Amino acid sequence: MLEKLPKEAQEWAEKLHWKERRYLLSLCHLLCAGSPELQAQFLDQYTADGLIAKIIQDYD
């Protein structure tokens, strides 16, 4: 499944330590268990929060 990711994302995922992999797997589990609407809402909010953090970081 990882081979379907962009090379940079694949390399990042393969380098994660076990503790970080557990967090990633937990997030995947939660996303898969949610309804499509809940998944979309989470991803929209998560992306928006990330963009705002990046803008603030670049501004500083």
Q: Extract the tokens encoding 54.
A: 């990046």
**Higher pLDDT pick, 60 / 44:** 44
Quote the pTM value.
0.65
Task: Flag whether pLDDT at 51 surpasses 90.
Answer: no
Q: What CA–CA distance (Å, rounded) separates 53 from 47?
A: 10
pLDDT greater than 90 at residue 58? no
Rounded average pLDDT over 30-58: 89
Residue spans of the domains in the chain: they are 2-59
pLDDT over 90 (residue 29): yes
Residues 2, 13: Cα–Cα separation, whole Å:
8
Q: Which pLDDT score is estimated for 1?
A: 86
